[in-house]
Structure 1
Amino acid sequence: MHPLGQSWLGEATRLGRRLATATAIVTAPVLDRFAVALPGTDAAITLRVAERIRTRFCTALADFDALRPPVSIGVAAHQAGEDADTLLQRADHALYEAKPASRDRVQLAR
């Protein structure tokens, strides 16, 4: 990975950990993404948290570099009987829906 990208991800991870709720679990970045789990949180609250994180990323990283990358977030709420892999796949799919739609947005998985 390019050093600028690695630096940006490090800053994004630190910011994500500061912005997440007390019960959130934040993973280390993998390539250009990381995961935040919000146990016991419904979709509506998760969407509000994700939008808050996206907005704060955009604000905090605006001066980071002239080439500020867009912040797109995929959100998936756990469904009864769903395993962790399926939940993450749905969140990842939502992320990929958010990117071409406009970037800099939060997308809820179906």
Structure 2
Amino acid sequence: MKKFTKTHEWVLLEDNIAYVGISENAAEELGDVTFIELPEVGKEIKKGDVLCTLESVKSASDVYAPVSGKIVEVNTLLDNNPEIINDSPEKDGWIAKIEILNKEEVDKLLSAEEYKNSL
């Protein structure tokens, strides 16, 4: 099940690996993404830390880690094709996979309905 943060990130949990990206709403608000500074594989990250920075035609925005853990993979397709985030923000536009330390952090995130109601 996909969960969301109030800062517009999403998480999809598979065992102890969390796929992380930005919501469709965030992608629309950003406009055309022109660059992404992907996080470093192997980096330990805490919930709320800056995961990466996205640049768009409108602005630059930080993406925050929705869970704590270790970055085990990044979506390298975004290096040359950052527009994937606009085309498919909640599927092909995932940013990183995080091996989570505490599954309770995921439980505290918003459901899709709670997220929509918060917009």
Task: Give TM-score, length-normalised by structure 1.
Answer: 0.29
Which is helix-richer, 1 or 2? 1
Which is strand-richer, 1 or 2? 2
Q: Rg larger in 1 or in 2?
A: 1
Task: Give TM-score, length-normalised by structure 2.
Answer: 0.28
